[in-house]
Structure 1
Amino acid sequence: MGTFAPIVVYWLYGGFYQMLPPLDNYRLHTKKEENEKNPVPLSSVIKGVLLQQLVQATVAQLLFMFTSQANLSGVTGQPSIPIQIVQIAVAMLVMDTWQYFVHRYMHQNKFLYRHIHSKHHRLVVPYAIGALYNHPLEGLLLDTLGGAISFLVSGMTARTAVVFFCFAVVKTVDDHCGLWLPGNIFHLFFQNNSAYHDIHHQLQGTKYNYSQPFFPIWDKLLGTYVPYSLVKRPEGGFEARLIKD
């Protein structure tokens, strides 16, 4: 479950967004912009995501096998709910920290950006299915290794990991959905949301808003946070605009 549930959730949740009607009144970019600015076809995006998930599944299987064998002589059973909540909170902070610094370095290092991270930014207009469209090496370093470190540092069990990784997948997909839907619970509880991350995908915003997937803590602490305003377009939908001094 810890290996395959997040993959199933990714395609179910991402597929849900993909199957929605155009929803022009809630889009952060027009459908025309999506077609014109994104040079990579949907079929290539799907293949890239499947490749990354194959790597993730392999690493997860090895990780769960290793940790389960290491705990054979230890205490068995599931921790209490409060302990699991604390473990998930720790995992969220660890994942945010790992992803912020690795992500930011991939932008600052010209070689890494040109040959690795720029693949993800080929989706100038992000959409849900493309949330994990990355270079395989980036997928390994940023997502797979970051998830493994979060799992190990937090001390969570494999059962708790199912909840955490499924939630992280849903949050990541939602951040890339390209929509500003009314009542979206992630917009209510997370400042790091679809508009926040859309700013980062814009050409003028690639040096800002690196934080993913949960909180903007490191952006705000280290000066890479840029505020934005949501402006209604005359033809419908919204536009996330940077607010710079």
Structure 2
Amino acid sequence: MKMMGAEFEVSDEILGTFAPIIVYWVYSGIYLMFGSFDNYRLHSRKDEDEKNLVSKSTVVKGVLLQQTVQAVVAIILFAVTGSAVEAAKNQKTSIFVLICQFVTAMMVLDTWQYFMHRYMHHNKFLYRHIHSQHHRLVVPYAYGALYNHPLEGLILDTIGGALSFLVSGMSPRTSIFFFSFATIKTVDDHCGLWLPGNLFHILFSNNSAYHDVHHQLYGSKYNFSQPFFVMWDKILGTHMPYSLEHREGGGFEARPTKECKDD
């Protein structure tokens, strides 16, 4: 990139750190505009205003704090793994290897987040003092996807992301695409919309309706999986199937199709 006669190069490490943050706000902004389409909402705008227990300005501040922590950890991680990173840059990576790295990273992230997320629900202290902050959004919306207690953000998202990066062996350049994709998927899961033709809804069972069930009182001990697959929920008996019904007044509602039981 050239500027005022000088040539500047943005490193893969810098892009890997900040691209997902930029993607988060851009993609959330797109869904913010779609939020006016009442026929595609999973909850009414009235419910969003009345049921949520935290102001939108507080949500924005919380997300920015978490993203700051993520950026610091990413910079440290790239610095610590510097020699391995340089070696990866000098190697040509085949499409097959890239696919394997993506799938491995997805599995690692899903596994880490499922068990940490579930534990935060079942440990009363952790839920009351940490994870309940995220559930102040009874009606999720896109830019609230990363609204968490800072400690939860560090454990679930930041450490989970670091593990998926290290275990998969991906390069910083590959991580730009993986974490941007994971960010888009997470935002989509919290968007509170069911849009026709949404590829995430076609390709993934873990979607906005699936996660919306978890945010409701009847689903708080179900559908812990995030952000990609639902395998751990199905394997360990925490999967709650649902049906999408048209809501009176417009939009959809995800209704459980199995009886809830306390664990």
TM-score (norm 2): 0.91
Letter in 2 for 1:202: Q
The reply to whether residue 181 of structure 1 matches residue 195 of structure 2 is yes
Could you tell me which residue of structure 2 aligns to residue 158 of structure 1?
172
Q: Post-superposition shift, 1:75?
A: 7.5
Change (3 A) 1:68 1:242: same
Distance 1:148 1:140 in 2: 10
The reply to whether residue 18 of structure 1 matches residue 21 of structure 2 is no
Could you tell me which residue of structure 2 aligns to residue 226 of structure 1?
240
Q: Percent identity?
A: 67
Could you tell me which residue of structure 1 aligns to residue 6 of structure 2?
none
Could you tell me which residue of structure 2 aligns to residue 203 of structure 1?
217
Check whether the contact 2:131–2:148 (CA below 8 A) recurs between aligned residues. yes
Could you tell me which residue of structure 2 aligns to residue 120 of structure 1?
134
Q: Post-superposition shift, 1:70?
A: 3.9
Q: Post-superposition shift, 1:68?
A: 2.0
How many residues are aligned here?
245
| Counterpart secondary structure, 2:244 | strand
Change (3 A) 1:144 1:74: closer
Q: Post-superposition shift, 1:176?
A: 0.2
Distance 1:243 1:109 in 2: 27
Letter in 2 for 1:51: L
Could you tell me which residue of structure 2 aligns to residue 62 of structure 1?
76
| Counterpart secondary structure, 1:240 | strand
Higher alpha-carbon Rg: 2
Could you tell me which residue of structure 1 aligns to residue 20 of structure 2?
6
Distance 1:109 1:234 in 2: 37
Distance 2:93 2:79 in 1: 19
| Alignment RMSD (CA, Å) | 1.2
Equivalent positions of 1:231-242 (< 5 A) are: 231-242=245-256
Letter in 2 for 1:106: M
Could you tell me which residue of structure 2 aligns to residue 101 of structure 1?
115
Distance 1:55 1:21 in 2: 29
Distance 1:222 1:79 in 2: 36
Aligned mate of 1:28, from 15, 37, 42: 42
Return 153-162 or 13-22, whichever deviates more.
13-22
Aligned mate of 2:208, from 182, 194, 199: 194
Check whether the contact 1:78–1:157 (CA below 8 A) recurs between aligned residues. no
Could you tell me which runs of 5 or more consecutive residues in structure 2 were left unpaired when the two chains were aligned: 1-14
Q: Post-superposition shift, 1:71?
A: 4.6
Q: Post-superposition shift, 1:78?
A: 3.8
Distance 1:72 1:232 in 2: 53
Q: Deviations over 1:128-180 (max 9, x none)?
A: 00000000000000000000000000001111111100000000000000000
Q: Deviations over 1:110-135 (max 9, x none)?
A: 00000000000000000000000000
The reply to whether residue 148 of structure 1 matches residue 162 of structure 2 is yes
Q: Post-superposition shift, 1:20?
A: 2.9
Q: Post-superposition shift, 1:22?
A: 1.4
